[in-house]
Amino acid sequence: MTIHKSDQTKVPGATNAQRGSASDLPPEGLTPPDIDPANAPAEEDDEARLPELAEESTEAVAEGPLAIGHAAIEKAVRLAPTSPGVYRMLNAAHDVLYVGKAKNVRKRLSSYARVNAPLAARILRMIAATVSVEIVSTSTETEALLLEANLIKQLRPRFNVQLRDDKSFPYILITGDHWAPQILKHRGAQSRPGRYFGPFASAGAVNRTITALQRAFLIRSCTDSFFESRTRPCLLYQIKRCAGPCTREIDFPGYTKLVGEAVDFLSGRSQQVKQELAAEMEKASRELEFETAALYRDRLAALSAIQSQQGINPRTVEEADVFAIHQEGGYSCVEVFFFRTGQNWGNRAYFPRAEKSFTPEEVLSSFLAQFYDDKPPPKLVLLSHEIEECELLADALSVKAGHKVEVSVPKRGEKKELVAHALTNAREALGRKLADTSTQGRLLEGLATTLGLPHPPRRIEVYDNSHIQGTNAVGAMIVAGPEGFAKNQYRKFNIKSEGLTPGDDYAMMREVLQRRFKRLVSANNEEAGKANEKRDDDSFPQWPDLVIIDGGRGQLNAAKEILDGLGATQVSLLGVAKGPDRDAGRETLFMPDRDAIKLEPRDPVLYFIQRLRDEAHRFVIGSHRKLRKKDIREAGLQEIPGIGPSRKRALLHHFGTLKEIERASIADLGKVPGVSAESARKIFEFFHAEPR
């Protein structure tokens, strides 16, 4: 690939991340989630003035931002190649505004440079903000499509359609590196030897399927280390969810047969497996082996349960992804169904960020390229709308997958029914989304009225901390906005201060806030203290409009001292003190230089504040427990008072692993030789102490 750059205006103080390089991205997690353009007043004004803007473009080229943009693009045109490539439009701060691809880059850029061209308001705004263009040449148009999708996902340009939730999908893995294969849920790189089945739409779908498969095929789910340490069968064997290969309750050929049946079922040969099990059940019944027959009956019931949870299972479609898009109220919803081995493995709704001037076909085309950027495509992709570059997308996916991928819009038969079913789900999911967004907007307006804020907050940050007598101290920040909780913005802070008094909540909160806002001020030096300034785009702000502290007046004053010291004086602060006996509904609200606020117990705004605080508490407690479990596993049992080497050996010999000791009840711990009732209580409390 060849990189071309037009002359660019150097902006003092611009960071590498601001320059929009694909390799110099913003710090992980700081990329804001997207807010729909329907909520941006500037967008509505531009759309309403579309004819006027188009007519005025000729006059605007003489002077003003549009003239600068046209000049920058014209300069890029002179340097642009006539071959395929990807171009990036940048603003004065070197932020990437738009990423596009073209078979002939010079020809495509020329279309933006024509002064009299009838361009949409969105394009005119983009040109007006452009000061430079960067170009990357590619060998083929297919390579350009793949590169464009990758850059859009990394850089999140303002004027592109953007895929929001792009988490990896879970798979079922039956391992191949042990004589007794294990069944488990897997995400990420498929580097471990074994058979992978998926993708599944959600972790819940995988967990339910694995549980049913354990009942049906009795495959182990324990780790290899736990397997090797067993001297007697575990509880899963007792409840008939494992065949017990660890203690040779089943021999190698018998267990291999069970694994083969599970692989056959997941590979689409479910009817064959069910017929074989039914035949074995009939045989055992004829031979009066009723316990064996009952075991086969339960296994058949487990397989039926898997298929009943899958909903529709196509008869003629072996492997396909089905995409359907519905637009309403300025939002776009793309519903995706996954079919593998003739089985429905779930569906997921996506709400890509796209300005409302984009057509369904444009949104779907850009969405598909980004969707498969980090996922293996199936043999067949079914769409609800005809996209412009259907053949190009099919070629790109075929190159990526290493096999032929067909992309089509079915016109009849079962495939059309599958698309129609997906479209119905997209319409219903978008209806729920619009209802939730409307409710969230009313709550934010009510919060602004109650607290006397200048406008409904677009970004709310809530802080809390957790520890047990000062150990494993961790702070956390959760974020909410017009579309609910923005979980990709959540942060946790391991408390690092030396000499911190154990349990000093004030000092912990000061450290968390100082680290958060000091970094924010340094990264956004020109915008420091301008948290409430109205933005002219639809991106989710990095500066909060409102900061909520879980605590009373003292915690609030500590937070105010930190923010004032950093110059963030326009950030509104709210402290939420728990009610008497920590009763929900009796909280007291504190704001700087104002009297305490008490809301009615049934006030919707109070419920909203409680939800925000409880989400912060849930997140920080979870973060604390993960940190504590890690320390416990690293330190072993030495940290428990009264547990010496002899008792430690006895516990590990009895339970096998530290994880099983952690799960054990007091009664189970008391059964270990040498462990008294008092020692059992201490061990149990050590693992189950509640953090603050």
Tens digits of per-residue pLDDT, 504-558? 677 778 888 888 888 777 766 544 344 444 444 456 778 888 999 888 888 888 8
The mean-pLDDT minimum among 214-223, 387-396, 526-535 falls in 526-535
DSSP SS3 for 282: helix
pLDDT category, 305, cuts 50, 70, 90? low
Q: Which residues of 40-66 are buried (b: 16+ CB within 10 A; e: fewer)?
A: beebeebbeebeebbeebeebbeeebb
Decide if pLDDT at 383 tops 90: yes
Torsion of CA 366, 369, 375, 379, to 10 degrees: 120
* Contact (Cβ atoms closer than 8 angstroms) between residue 3 and residue 22: no
Q: Which CATH architecture has domain 452-627?
A: 2-Layer Sandwich (3.30)
Phi first, then psi, for residue 394 (nearest 5°) are -60, -40
Which CATH topology does 2-155 take? GIY-YIG endonuclease (3.40.1440)
* Contact (Cβ atoms closer than 8 angstroms) between residue 84 and residue 143: yes
Residue ranges of E strands in 284-421: 320-328, 331-340, 343-350, 380-383, 406-408
Distance of CA 423 to the CA centre of its chain: 23
d(CA 14, CA 18): 6
Which CATH topology does 320-432 take? Nucleotidyltransferase; domain 5 (3.30.420)
DSSP SS3 for 143: helix
Residues 92-108: what's their mean pLDDT?
89
Strand-strand pairing, 132-137 and 2-5: antiparallel
Phi first, then psi, for residue 400 (nearest 5°) are -70, -40
Separation in Å, CA 135 to CA 105, 108, 126, 142, 229:
8, 12, 17, 16, 58
DSSP SS3 for 326: strand
- The more confidently predicted of residues 62 and 494 is 494
Most confident of 143-147, 569-573, 642-646: 143-147
- The more confidently predicted of residues 229 and 292 is 229
Decide if pLDDT at 407 tops 50: yes
d(CA 53, CA 120): 8
**Position 189, amino acid:** A
Residue 325: what pLDDT? 94
Sign of the CA dihedral 233, 235, 237, 241? negative
CB contact set of 627 (below 8 Å; sequence gap of 6+): 472, 474, 494
pLDDT category, 384, cuts 50, 70, 90? very high
Residue 531: what pLDDT? 43
Residue 47: what pLDDT? 39
Residue 233: what pLDDT? 87
pLDDT category, 381, cuts 50, 70, 90? very high
pLDDT category, 472, cuts 50, 70, 90? low
CA angle centred on 393, ends 388 and 397, rounded to 5°? 165
The mean-pLDDT minimum among 349-358, 621-630, 662-671 falls in 621-630
Strand-strand pairing, 380-383 and 320-328: parallel
Phi first, then psi, for residue 293 (nearest 5°) are -60, -40
Decide if pLDDT at 296 tops 80: no
The tokens for 477 are 């920040």
Per-residue pLDDT tens for 638-661? 556 667 777 777 776 677 666 677
* Contact (Cβ atoms closer than 8 angstroms) between residue 422 and residue 323: yes
Task: Determine how many CB atoms are found less than 10 A away from the CB of residue 240.
Answer: 14
Sign of the CA dihedral 25, 202, 149, 54? negative
Of 91, 125, 127, which Cα lies nearest the Cα of 109? 127
Most confident of 64-68, 479-483, 491-495: 479-483
**H or E element at residue 5:** strand 2-5
Residue 1: what pLDDT? 55
Per-residue pLDDT tens for 9-53? 333 333 333 334 333 333 333 333 333 433 333 333 443 443 444
**Position 153, amino acid:** K
Strand-strand pairing, 491-494 and 484-485: unpaired
Per-residue pLDDT tens for 165-208? 656 788 889 998 889 999 999 888 788 899 888 788 778 778 87
- Which CATH code, of 3.40.50.1980, 3.90.79.10, 3.40.190.170, 1.10.150.20, is assigned to 640-688? 1.10.150.20
Sign of the CA dihedral 674, 680, 684, 686? negative
d(CA 136, CA 421): 40
Sign of the CA dihedral 358, 359, 364, 369? negative
pLDDT-above-70 percentage for the chain: 77
Residues 444-456: what's their mean pLDDT?
90
Residue 121: what pLDDT? 83
Helix ranges (DSSP H) in 380-412: 390-401
452-627 and 320-432 share a CATH fold: yes
Could you state, in order of their start, the residue ranges of all structural domains in the chain? Answer: 2-155, 171-309, 320-432, 452-627, 640-688
Residue 95: what pLDDT? 87
d(CA 228, CA 220): 12
Please provide the size of the chain in residues.
692
Residue 45: what pLDDT? 42
Decide if pLDDT at 334 tops 90: yes
The string of DSSP codes covering 601-660 is: TT-HHHHHHHHHHHHHHHHHHHHHHHHHHHHHHHHGGGGSTT--HHHHHHHHHHHSSHHH
Separation in Å, CA 166 to CA 147, 199, 264, 368:
17, 13, 30, 12
Q: If you average pLDDT over every residue of the chain, what do you get?
A: 77
- The more confidently predicted of residues 270 and 129 is 129
Residues 132-154: what's their mean pLDDT?
89
The structure's pTM equals 0.63
